[in-house]
């Protein structure tokens, strides 16, 4: 590369990086409804224009920071097990700016699913005999207990 072209290229790089194209940041604090910090909460930053997600976790003090973002329109969400997910949409992040977005998580319903799979044994309630429908010797059959 010739010296004049190299100097122009270097000047262009300096201008490009000094304009703040990559110095946009989201920052904030995540707490519960009592004001206590929520450590380890997941904060998702979604760029609505590029459809790119960035995720980060809150610190022990409940703080998060997402630096080096492109200017644009974003959706932010914060979530943690046992809490309702909070979502903020249409947040504009301008060039060379820092936007503080705090979240207060409220306790949510915890749902559990328990699946139990077992062999089925049928009890005859009329004469107290037990009938076993499990496969015996490669075929389905009934087994009755001898009378006492």
Residue 12 belongs to some domain of the structure? no
Average pLDDT of the residues in 8-12:
56
Question: Taking a C-beta distance cutoff of 8 angstroms, is the pair 57, 33 a contact?
Answer: no
CA atoms within 13 A on the CB side of 123: 2
Q: What is the pTM of this model?
A: 0.61
- Residue with more model confidence, 106 or 121: 106
Q: Which range marks the domain in which residue 38 is found?
A: 20-105
Name the nearest CA neighbour of 27 among 15, 40, 45. 45
Segment 77-96, tens digit of pLDDT: 999 999 999 999 999 999 99
Q: Share the mean pLDDT of the chain.
A: 77
Q: What CATH number does residue 37 fall under? A: 2.60.40.10
């Amino acid at each position: 590369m010739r010296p004049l072209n190299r100097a122009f290229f270097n000047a262009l790089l300096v201008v490009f990086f000094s304009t703040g194209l990559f110095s946009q940041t989201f920052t904030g604090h995540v707490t519960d409804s009592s004001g206590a910090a929520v450590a380890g909460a997941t904060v998702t930053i979604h760029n609505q224009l590029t459809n790119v997600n960035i995720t980060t976790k809150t610190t022990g003090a409940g703080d998060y920071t997402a630096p080096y973002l492109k200017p644009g329109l974003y959706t932010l969400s914060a979530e943690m097990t046992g809490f309702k997910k909070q979502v903020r949409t249409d947040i504009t992040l301008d060039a060379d700016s820092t936007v503080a977005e705090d979240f207060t998580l409220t306790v949510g319903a915890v749902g559990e699913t328990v699946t139990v799979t077992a062999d089925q044994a049928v009890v005859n309630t009329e004469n107290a005999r037990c009938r076993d429908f499990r496969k015996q010797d490669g075929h389905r059959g009934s087994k009755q207990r001898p009378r006492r």
